Chain A
Amino acid sequence: MAFNGHQREDEGIDEDETPTKQPRSEKEMPGCFKTEPHNEASASAGRSTSERRTSNSTMRHRADSVKKTRPPFPWFGMDIGGTLVKLVYFEPKDITAEEEQEEVENLKSIRRYLTSNTAYGKTGIRDVHLELQDLTLCGRTGNLHFIRFPTHDLPAFLQMGRNKHFSSLHTTLCATGGGAYKFESDFRTMADLQLHKLDELDCLIRGVLYIDSVMSSGPSECYYFENPTDPDHCVQKPYTLENPYPLLLVNIGSGVSILAVYSESNYKRVTGTSLGGGTFLGLCCLLTGCSTFEEALEMASQGESTRVDKLVRDIYGGDYERFGLPGWAVASSFGNMMSKEKRESVSKEDLARATLVTITNNIGSITRMCALNENIERVVFVGNFLRVNTLSMKLLAYAMDYWSKGQLKALFLRHEGYFGAVGALLELLHPS
């Protein structure tokens, strides 16, 4: 989002904060979640989280109380953004026969509906590849599912909740993102559901730190691009977030928020920009007539931005050595489009590509400046703009590395857009 410099530390909670505001004390946080280290990836992750587990012993004798305070199923976490609703759902796999009998029909039907489908309605999608299996949460083992649908389809979702008598389950629906506020009354009136609203940045950070810490089969959560400045040898490599602090967390949704994270409980929003994923898609729709992110990305992958942008070499014939600017650098985004002839000669694909490059590079510049100002060398990019968007990730990796002369490292997380929703789920399981 396009605002800047709001500083915030956990202690300084604003008065209008939701009453259930989470105190992220380092002691309590990890105790609730257990993971089962049984593969290589998790072993490395285990090392990385050793610090955070030092208080495990103190937590064990709380196990009983955990059981008592454990909320009833279903367990959801929701993040309602400007463009997408992100939903995480925990499917318990250790249901006892006794439980099964007690389980009400509604609950079963919801579980079955969510886990047996990968698409819901026209626009809802379960990201199967992101599913976390054999996860232990509050003493229960199961799978964590990741589901998304466009925010404008929220009414359909609420209608479904109403049809399935969701409200009879007496569950608390933990939700974050702006939509938790905007649609609170719709949840109440349309589905008879009371939302438990949560701050989106709190949730985001909690979600990132949690997902990074869990042991899970499958690929490493965090990764980077090796040789980002060499296209032929640029490869994705797993990364261990050891001693993650301080880190710069860049969340690219419709807009962009940049956070400096110093510890689990100490972070501030450094700045933000309104030039984000929404801008990419919005401009692409206007320029090419497309209507979805996937379409826009597909077009971008086939286009050539150098026909649209004016490069340094277009002006200087080569590098501008006086200022160390390489000839390939973009001097003016869309700069060639000032000329009528060139406007007529570019394709929609070129325009989509240029839009992607413009937005991505700009996020890269602002991020780099923030990293310098905050004196932070590690940058983690998250958010759904990066979903299936290797183009942007490689660009960001390149930009960070090139303009910082190797000082800055761009990191990415597999569950890019779901951390807010995960954070919301954690709040449900471990309310303050």
Chain B
Amino acid sequence: MAEFVRLDSSTSRHTMDKSITLPPDEIFRNLENAKRFAIDIGGSLTKLAYYSTVQHKVAKVRSFDKATKVNIPLYEISVQEEVTARLHFIKFENAYIETCLDFIKDHLVNTETKVIKATGGGAHKFKELIERKLGLKVDKEDEMTCLIKGCNFVLRNIPHEAFVYAKHADSEFRFQTTQPDIFPYLLVNIGSGVSIVKVESEDKFERIGGSSIGGGTFWGLGALLTKTKRFDELLQLASKGQHTSVDMLVKDIYGGSYGSLGLTGDLIASSFGKSATADKEFSKEDMAKSLLHMISNDIGQLACLYAKLHNLSRVYFGGFFIRGHPVTMHTITYSINFFTKGEVQALFLRHEGYLGAIGAFLKGAEEDNPNQYSWGENYAGSSGLMSVSPDMNPMQRARSGTFDMLEMDRLERQLVNLPLLQDPSSYIPDTMDLTEDALAREYWLYCFEEALDGVVKRAVASQPDMPEAAERAEKFRQKYRHKLQTLRHQPFAYGSLTVRSLLDTREHCLNEFNFPDPYSKIKQNENDIALKYYQKAVKSLEELSWEERQFALVRGVLAGNVFDWGAKAVSEMTLGPQIWHLGLIYLFIFFSSERPWLVDSYDQWLERLRGPPHKCALFFVDNSGVDIILGVIPFVRELLSRGTEVVLASNSGPALNDVTNGELQILTERIAAMDPVIQAGLREDRLTLVQSGSSSPCLDLSRLDKVLAQVVRERQTDLVIIEGMGRAIHTNYYAMLSCESLKMAVIKNSWLADRLGGKLFSVVFKYEVPAGKPSQGSAAVTPS
């Protein structure tokens, strides 16, 4: 009784406007390296997908030969070209198809592909044009299959893909955390008709029902009733109307509510019930509103009936009826709420419009096994969710004629959950959701904008031999500033806005302009200096009594954590002599930061240390230099001496001055050469280095390197240590683990310190034992 094919009726209106010039830097990026294409042509929009290989610069470190001379750096830094894979998705109005095809033809050089996968209702219509322009054979794929494939892909790979829409809430979008298992779910696709599909696994889905009352009914019937032709205009009419003048409400029949059934007077008893008369005129707005309610309620009701019958609680809505329209998201949400009494939430998708194109692409790319990899949204190249304003959305209308983009990078490693999460389905990495907290949002956006000059300067300084670095850095500045501006107006553009997403966006933008590791030299320098003090530090620790040593080790980690170039208070210090200033703060924290700290469960930790050693500790490390070498390694050394195995998890790629896995390999080797304890640990495989899979200053425990997860499981890890502001405060502060955990950080941001009720350089030392686990100490204290 229904289908999901989009419309092809509106396309005829458009004329092929060839006068448009495309900004090649912005859209169709990297086309010369495009390998494979797919296209989804809907009623008014075309979505083009292609896969490209991206050459970009990566920073590598390499140890010098053993026979080192004096006065040369610890290791060699080089910038290399690396080829990675990227998925590009571009959405534009059908009017631009010809222009775009011409553009593609002119820029396509490297492709060996002979076929373009196509889906969508308009695919047949443009088949001939595509084949003629591109010289590729159009290969049609089943629309529903593409849709489901695309849906699975975004749900799995894009955190915060799904959201709940709440019109009257502080933030209209409430993003959902990625579920470890996305199946089963119900997809309700509202095209001209409605298809209701039950998806049980990657390859198993079934159309369990549908309805003929869908977007086409709204459009068709709406056009007849209001003489308004465009779908958008109809929605706009509806958003201004009053349905109560057209609909017969319960109170129109009862005079009030129908109490014994609990039906309130405002409920609609009969849609259009009041228009059953020949002698009254009704306004276009009111009729459109009534129609919208009628259709949304009907679809919502059917969706609920199907969800109930198949016992499904996750229901996603998509299709052109929904596509970013706040009006329809609101009415559908309302309907679902009503019919399930709040038991089922209507879920929407950020990249809903791309599902078909993504799916068609994946169909064509099966030989490359794209599903074997993890993919990450590239914030630098993606344009984000369209703006929404209470009164329809002028932004969206203004955007017609522009191009919307989504880019996804293939990640080197497959990412999975940390097996030690207490409840993966409820885990939220970020401590603060800036989408919901306007004050915090304002502060952090300001903070990142303020820091931009410094970042640009640092980026230029990191490439002294490259004359065009300044120019690139300027481009970076513009791009990131633009992103910040977008986020100021549309905080939800990339899912929940968090400090992490702001940091990650900055890293993506830096990478975009070939600043792969602006801190490489600083890190190298810091590591070099710190290494020189390693033996002295270890020796002085060994001279302390056991109890004094435990405290000194903790202080060492905390003090070392001050060396964080990402932190506002630190990054404001210029390079050079002021590093000594940092040194002073280091000393201050080391020697005089008085307990109790802001969060202080040190006593419980000490108590625990008096007990039996842990089996294995997983340590997420933070900064280079003093932090890792004089803080973390001595702490690790003590754990090893106690008989605890240690897994050191560091970033796969660079972010600020965080130590990367590559750097840490070299550092531990060097330290092992000086320190028999570390050497023995490495040799006996009791000290293991793994990469986290991340290139972020923050930490998402639900997206970690598969190997790490495996090691954690094999070693029966019973202690997780998370260090630093990014990993233990901005993220994971509230993360619940199924084993003991220790979160250590120094708060190097006065605003945040203030928020947490402390001062700048306050210390957080949070030791937690999961409830129900026998423990030697009691659980952590939280800030008062």
Interface residues, chain A, CB within 8 Å of chain B?
1-6, 8, 14, 16-17, 81-83, 177-179, 181-184, 199, 201, 253-255, 269, 271, 273-279, 281-287, 289-291, 308-310, 312, 315-316, 320, 322-323, 325, 329-340, 343, 351, 358, 361-362, 365-366, 369-370, 372-373, 403
* B503 CB within 8 Å of chain A: no
B269 CB to nearest chain A CB (Å):
4
Query: Which residues of A lie under 8 Å from residue B7 when comparing CB positions?
Result: 338
Cβ B2 vs Cβ A282 within 8 A: no
Cβ B260 vs Cβ A255 within 8 A: no
A248 CB to nearest chain B CB (Å):
13
Given A2-B297, A8-B261, A179-B253, do A82 and B278 touch, yes or no (CB 8 Å)? no
Cβ B273 vs Cβ A82 within 8 A: yes
Query: Which residues of B lie under 8 Å from residue A3 when comparing CB positions?
Result: 250, 261, 263, 267, 338
Cβ 8 A contact of A291, one of B229, B254, B278: B278
Query: Which residues of B lie under 8 Å from residue A17 when comparing CB positions?
Result: 260
Instruction: Using A82-B253, A278-B276 as known contacts, list a sample of 10 further A-B pairs with CB atoms less than 8 Å apart, ordered by residue number in A.
Output: A1-B269, A3-B267, A178-B255, A275-B213, A285-B277, A291-B277, A333-B212, A337-B221, A339-B9, A362-B212
A211 CB to nearest chain B CB (Å):
23
Q: Which residues 356-395 of B sit at the A interface, judged by CB distance below 8 A?
A: none
Which one of B91-99, B166-174, B300-308, B473-481 is at the A interface?
Answer: B300-308
Given A285-B277, A332-B192, A365-B302, do A337 and B3 touch, yes or no (CB 8 Å)? no
Cβ A332 vs Cβ B217 within 8 A: yes
Cβ A312 vs Cβ B3 within 8 A: yes
Most buried by B among A183, A320, A331, A403: A331
Cβ 8 A contact of A274, one of B217, B224, B279, B294: B294
* B232 CB within 8 Å of chain A: no
Cβ B298 vs Cβ A362 within 8 A: yes
B82 CB to nearest chain A CB (Å):
42
* B259 CB within 8 Å of chain A: yes
Cβ A366 vs Cβ B273 within 8 A: no
Cβ B309 vs Cβ A369 within 8 A: yes
Query: Which residues of A lie under 8 Å from residue B191 when comparing CB positions?
Result: 332
Cβ A337 vs Cβ B220 within 8 A: yes
* B396 CB within 8 Å of chain A: no
Cβ B221 vs Cβ A275 within 8 A: no
Cβ B298 vs Cβ A369 within 8 A: no
Query: Which residues of B lie under 8 Å from residue A339 when comparing CB positions?
Result: 9
Query: Which residues of B lie under 8 Å from residue A178 when comparing CB positions?
Result: 250, 253-255, 258, 269
Cβ A6 vs Cβ B253 within 8 A: no
B271-286 interface code vs A (CB 8 A; 1 in, 0 out): 1111111110010000
Cβ B212 vs Cβ A278 within 8 A: no
Most buried by B among A4, A253, A289: A4
| Cα distance A25–B451 in the bound complex, in angstroms | 79
| Cα distance A83–B272 in the bound complex, in angstroms | 12
Query: Which residues of A lie under 8 Å from residue B301 when comparing CB positions?
Result: 4, 271, 273, 366
Main secondary structure of the interface of B (DSSP, over half): mixed
* B252 CB within 8 Å of chain A: yes
Given A182-B253, A286-B282, do A335 and B220 touch, yes or no (CB 8 Å)? yes
A-B contact pairs, 7 of them (CB 8 A): A3-B250, A82-B269, A276-B270, A323-B144, A361-B212, A362-B212, A365-B302
Given A334-B220, A334-B224, A369-B305, do A285 and B275 touch, yes or no (CB 8 Å)? yes
Query: Which residues of A lie under 8 Å from residue B213 when comparing CB positions?
Result: 275, 333, 358, 362
Cβ A269 vs Cβ B261 within 8 A: yes
| Cα distance A343–B193 in the bound complex, in angstroms | 18
* B469 CB within 8 Å of chain A: no
* B466 CB within 8 Å of chain A: no
| CB closest residue in chain A, given B274 | A282
Query: Which residues of A lie under 8 Å from residue B9 when comparing CB positions?
Result: 338-339
Query: Which residues of B lie under 8 Å from residue A273 when comparing CB positions?
Result: 297-298, 301
* B701 CB within 8 Å of chain A: no
Query: Which residues of A lie under 8 Å from residue B121 when comparing CB positions?
Result: 315
Cβ A338 vs Cβ B268 within 8 A: no
| Cα distance A351–B255 in the bound complex, in angstroms | 33
B280 CB to nearest chain A CB (Å):
9
* B246 CB within 8 Å of chain A: yes
A76 CB to nearest chain B CB (Å):
20
| Cα distance A287–B276 in the bound complex, in angstroms | 11
Cβ A254 vs Cβ B253 within 8 A: yes
A43 CB to nearest chain B CB (Å):
38
Cβ A5 vs Cβ B294 within 8 A: no
* B578 CB within 8 Å of chain A: no
Most buried by A among B193, B263, B269, B297: B269
Most buried by A among B212, B219, B309: B212
| CB closest residue in chain A, given B208 | A323
Query: Which residues of A lie under 8 Å from residue B144 when comparing CB positions?
Result: 322-323
Cβ A1 vs Cβ B258 within 8 A: yes
Query: Which residues of A lie under 8 Å from residue B263 when comparing CB positions?
Result: 1, 3, 6
* B207 CB within 8 Å of chain A: yes
| Cα distance A87–B308 in the bound complex, in angstroms | 39
Query: Which residues of A lie under 8 Å from residue B250 when comparing CB positions?
Result: 1, 3, 178
Cβ B302 vs Cβ A366 within 8 A: yes
Query: Which residues of A lie under 8 Å from residue B556 when comparing CB positions?
Result: none
| CB closest residue in chain B, given A362 | B213
Given A3-B261, A338-B9, do A370 and B305 touch, yes or no (CB 8 Å)? yes
| Cα distance A1–B712 in the bound complex, in angstroms | 57
Cβ A331 vs Cβ B212 within 8 A: yes
| CB closest residue in chain A, given B272 | A282
Query: Which residues of A lie under 8 Å from residue B221 when comparing CB positions?
Result: 283, 333-334, 337
Most buried by B among A16, A283, A315: A283
B210 CB to nearest chain A CB (Å):
8
| Cα distance A283–B217 in the bound complex, in angstroms | 13
Cβ 8 A contact of A325, one of B3, B142, B253, B305: B3
Cβ 8 A contact of B270, one of A82, A199, A312, A366: A82
Cβ B278 vs Cβ A351 within 8 A: no
| Cα distance A339–B220 in the bound complex, in angstroms | 8
| CB closest residue in chain A, given B246 | A282
Query: Which residues of B lie under 8 Å from residue A331 when comparing CB positions?
Result: 1-3, 5, 192-193, 212, 216
Most buried by B among A1, A274, A309, A372: A274
